[in-house]
Amino acid sequence: MKIKKQNIYITMLYTMVTAYMLGPMLSYKLGIPRIDNPLTLLLVPATLLIFFIENKTFNSKAGLMLMAVGLMTGWSAIHLFITPLDSVRVMDTFFFLSVAGLFYLLYLILSRHENPLRFVRRLLVYFCAFIIIPPVIEVLTGIQFVKSDEILAIEAGVIKGFFFNPNNLGTTALFFAPAVLIFFNIGVNKREYLFGWILFLSLGAIVFASASRTATMSYIILFILNLIYRNNGLFTLMTIGVTGAGLSMIPKQYIADFLLSIHGNAFLENISSRLYLFLFNLESDNSVGYRQEIYNYFWSNPPLLLYGYGPKNFQEYFGGHLSDSLGFENPHSFIIELYLGFGMISLIGFICYIIWYAVNVFLSQNLRNKQKAIGLAAIGLFILGGFIPSTILRMPFLWLPCFLIFLYSVLPQRDTAYNAYRYTP
């Protein structure tokens, strides 16, 4: 029996998504080597081989995007040859290289699939299950899925699911939320539309439970933007304004006392204490102060780099200028990490990716105005979200939501018959 190439590509994509999610958990719970590492090492040459044997006739817009993503990630490979790297940094580089491969696989799948929307929705549901279900099990059973120190343990009230820390969990949930809003509003019946809302609100609950303040505020803004673009946008704006005015009239001391009164429950205490620091005692938040050190030094002393220092190798640049060595590996900003690690060429590729994405989503004939607004918000959240986790080099799946939105925006629609009935919320 002849195996269709399309099935091979879909299997590769789902295999990688599964490996990314289950790799750390299986390593911690069963003691087996990380399955995502060898599969990523195979994915990079496999997608290169597929590129050489496949038809080179590209959708021009998708082809230019592949060039931008390929430039951004491909330039990093130079450090495999010019910079001494330990095994961890080698894998960081390959995880980043795999981003271009994931985009290419998605292009091949969506450009040929008989029903791209159905494929995208199934992929989103599959991935969101890895985001939503493990934290729920974690809270109900107290089972910790991934190794961490005492500060990030379940006993300390920290919820992180299959991720190493709650910031990674919150960032991932945040990045997938716009894609859910878009793809569960295109060509859906009322049942599918309601399911999309449940999925979106579930991701919001995970964002809140992660206690990431930036992710939580970003999700709230996304939620409000979605409400504004409904048919009752003016009423929504008025409601938000009245609610905001009402909240501003509540004495700050009442809010502070309420947040402090929650202490006693490990999970609620973690969330309330972080919110309290953010609202009333930001100068005492060590994580905020240390990030400001990194950003201020980089802003005041931007280096001119062609190749960069290599992945997570910034001691030469930051040494002697920060109060802690954490920034030597994790500058808590993807843009800074990208530039310091891989230099100007990779940064130019990233900028081209952002601009080309925004232009094509804005001009897309496949999206309505509301979906365009959410699509543009998605890339804005990606840029902002790059400041939340310590690094996104080892999380190539974070690029998938915007890849899906972009490809649907530029590829010809092939599912007209399936979308003959369109539910308009």
Dist. CA 116–CA 223, nearest whole Å: 26
Residues 6+ apart with CB under 8 A from 33: 27
Residue 280 token pair: 């009333």
pLDDT at 150: 55
pLDDT at 62 over 60: yes
pLDDT at 72: 97
pLDDT at 270: 59
pLDDT at 169 over 90: yes
286 CB-contact burial (10 Å; exposed 0-12 / middle 13-18 / buried 19+):
exposed
Expressed in angstroms, the distance from the first to the final Cα of the chain is 44
Contact (Cβ atoms closer than 8 angstroms) between residue 349 and residue 334? no
pTM over 0.95: no
Quote the percentage of the chain above a pLDDT of 70.
80
Mean per-residue pLDDT for 31-35? 89
Mean pLDDT, all residues of the chain: 84
Comparison of pLDDT for 410 and 422, the residue scoring more: 410
Dist. CA 423–CA 252, nearest whole Å: 44
Contact (Cβ atoms closer than 8 angstroms) between residue 345 and residue 71? yes
Mean per-residue pLDDT for 214-222? 89
Comparison of pLDDT for 157 and 168, the residue scoring more: 168
Comparison of pLDDT for 124 and 146, the residue scoring more: 124
Picking from 156, 163, 258, the residue whose alpha carbon sits closest to that of residue 215 is 163
Query: What are the tens digits of pLDDT across the range 348-385?
Result: 999 999 999 999 999 999 998 889 999 999 999 999 99
